[in-house]
Amino acid sequence: MAVIYNKIAIIGMGLIGASIALASRRAGLAAVMAGYDADPAAMADVASLQLVDEVADTAAAAVADADLVIMAVPVGAVGAVAKTIAPHMKLGAVLTDTGSTKRSVLRDVAPHLNESIIWLPSHPLAGTEHSGPQAGIAHLFDGRYWIILPLDAPESAVLQFESFITGLGSVVERMAPDYHDKVLALTSHLPHLIAYTIVGTAVDLEQQLKNDVIRFSASGFRDFTRIAASDPVMWRDVFLNNDEAVLEMLQRFSEDLSYLQRAIRWQEGDKLEDLFSRTREIRRSIIDAGQD
């Protein structure tokens, strides 16, 4: 790949920010990379791991002269970050984020932008349960969708940003903010909420039973604990900022769960088998789409 941006700045050097830096370096997408994180310990790791070319002392210093600025921070923090960096961004620079909710990001960032900034919200559908600069993975985005919201950005800027995303290994998908939040509420946010709840139930069990649940964990429970080990601050912000869509999907899930409760209580095996057969097909479709 050729250089897409002369300089990119990454604000937030956790799993996603560090992975962007590694993937960008792997593909040679930026001539210079600058990075900043509000956590001094994280910045020490960034420096020791040599994730970026410029380890900035402040967010403002990181974005100076950057052609692309990426806010890889929890959605609850994007407004404050945008307020800090916007006055220091150069004319015509592109600003994006990596947040899992989009309506709240639009609401919180917009008041701090000026006409010289090209605002391109986005969201990579990739991650692990790990966090921090050490968790960065160069191939994290390979084959994974990266959703962008073009808004009113010039098409030339959108196409350039899409080239950067595909250079990271991702597949680009354009989407509207409301639709994004509904889709993610079901495919990502609700599963995390359920995982946190199931693992929380195990935590509240009497000690001996809890010990045996941990000792004899089957693959299903282990998968839930992996999901429930994700960054608590990030997911707190996700649920608070996508509350409407999450509550809608949670209501639908509750209704479906009640249906299953009745089927089990009344020994209606045909209903259970029908549901399990239909859901099995969804899994096959995900595998066929290369998103397993």
CATH code of residue 275: 1.10.3660.10
Write down the pLDDT at residue 188.
87
Whether the per-residue pLDDT at 85 is higher than 70: the answer is yes
Write down the pLDDT at residue 280.
81
What is the DSSP code (8-state) at residue 38?
S
Per this entry, what is the length of the chain?
A: 292
Q: How many CB atoms neighbour CB 232 within 10 A?
A: 11
The string of pLDDT tens digits covering residues 162-183 is 999 999 999 999 999 999 999 9
Which pTM does this prediction carry? 0.84
The string of pLDDT tens digits covering residues 91-138 is 999 999 999 999 999 999 999 999 999 999 999 999 888 899 999 999
256 or 5, which is more confident: 5
Question: Range of 87's domain?
Answer: 5-175
Is 28 found in the same domain as 124?
yes
User: Residue type for 117, please?
Assistant: I
Record the tokens describing residue 85, joined without a space: 């960096």
Write down the pLDDT at residue 225.
82
Write down the pLDDT at residue 285.
74
| Rounded Cα distance, 164 and 19, in Å | 14
Whether the per-residue pLDDT at 209 is higher than 80: the answer is no
Question: What average pLDDT does this structure show over 80-88?
Answer: 98
192 or 215, which is more confident: 192
Write down the pLDDT at residue 136.
97
Is 153 found in the same domain as 208?
no
Is 57 found in the same domain as 131?
yes
Q: In the sheet that 5-11 helps form, which strands lie side by side, from edge to edge?
A: 54-55, 30-36, 5-11, 68-71, 94-97, 118-119
User: Residue type for 116, please?
Assistant: S
Is 222 found in the same domain as 93?
no
Question: What average pLDDT does this structure show over 250-254?
Answer: 91
- Is-contact 125 144, C-beta < 8 A? yes
Last residue of a domain, one of 125, 151, 175: 175
Q: What is the CATH number of the domain that holds 145?
A: 3.40.50.720
Whether the per-residue pLDDT at 247 is higher than 70: the answer is yes
Is 142 found in the same domain as 92?
yes
Question: What average pLDDT does this structure show over 206-214?
Answer: 75
Write down the pLDDT at residue 200.
84
Record the tokens describing residue 232, joined without a space: 């608590």
Is 163 found in the same domain as 224?
no
User: Residue type for 162, please?
Assistant: E
Is 33 found in the same domain as 79?
yes
Is 77 found in the same domain as 20?
yes
Is 133 found in the same domain as 262?
no
* Total tally of structural domains belonging to the chain: 2
For residue 291, which phi and psi values (nearest 5 degrees)?
-110, 20
Record the tokens describing residue 72, joined without a space: 């890889």
The string of pLDDT tens digits covering residues 20-35 is 999 999 999 999 999 9
- Is-contact 149 133, C-beta < 8 A? no
